[in-house]
Structure 1
Amino acid sequence: MKAMAITSFGPPEVLKLTEIKQPQAGPGTVRVRVKTAGVLPFDCGLREGTIGYARQQRFPMIPGNEFAGVIDQVGEGVNQFAVGMEVLGFSLLHSYAEYIVVDADQIVIKPERMPWEVAGGFSGNGQGAHMALKSVVIEEGDTVLIHAAAGGFGTFACQLAKAWGAAAVIGTASESNHEYLRSIGVIPVAYGAGLVERVRRITPQGIDAAVDAAGPEALRASAQLVNNKERIRTMVSDEAAVELGIPVLSGTRTAARLQELVDLYMEGFIRIHIREVFPLHEAQEAHRLVETGHGRGKVILLVGEQH
Structure 2
Amino acid sequence: MNKVLNILRENIFLIKLTIVLSALFYIYFNDLIDWNLIKKGLSNPKLILVFLLLTFLQQLVGSARTKSLLFYKNEKLNVFKINNITWASTFLNCVLPTSIAGEVYKINKIIDNSDNEIKDNVVYTALVSKVLTVISLVIISFTALFSSQLENKESQFFLNGLILFCFILCLLFTYRLKLYKLAHQLYKKINIQHTFIKTRAYNFHIYFNLLFFNPSAILKPLLLSIILQILNLISILLIVYNTKEVSVNSLIQLSQVIPLGIFASILPISYQGLGTGNYAFNELFKLVNIKNGSDIFTIYFALSYIFNLIGIIPFILFTLRKK
Q: So what's the TM-score if we normalise by structure 1?
A: 0.26
Query: Which structure has the bigger radius of gyration?
Result: 2
- Counting strand residues as a fraction of each chain, which structure ranks higher? 1
- Counting helix residues as a fraction of each chain, which structure ranks higher? 2
Q: So what's the TM-score if we normalise by structure 2?
A: 0.25
Q: Which has the higher contact order (CA 8 A, sep 6+)?
A: 2
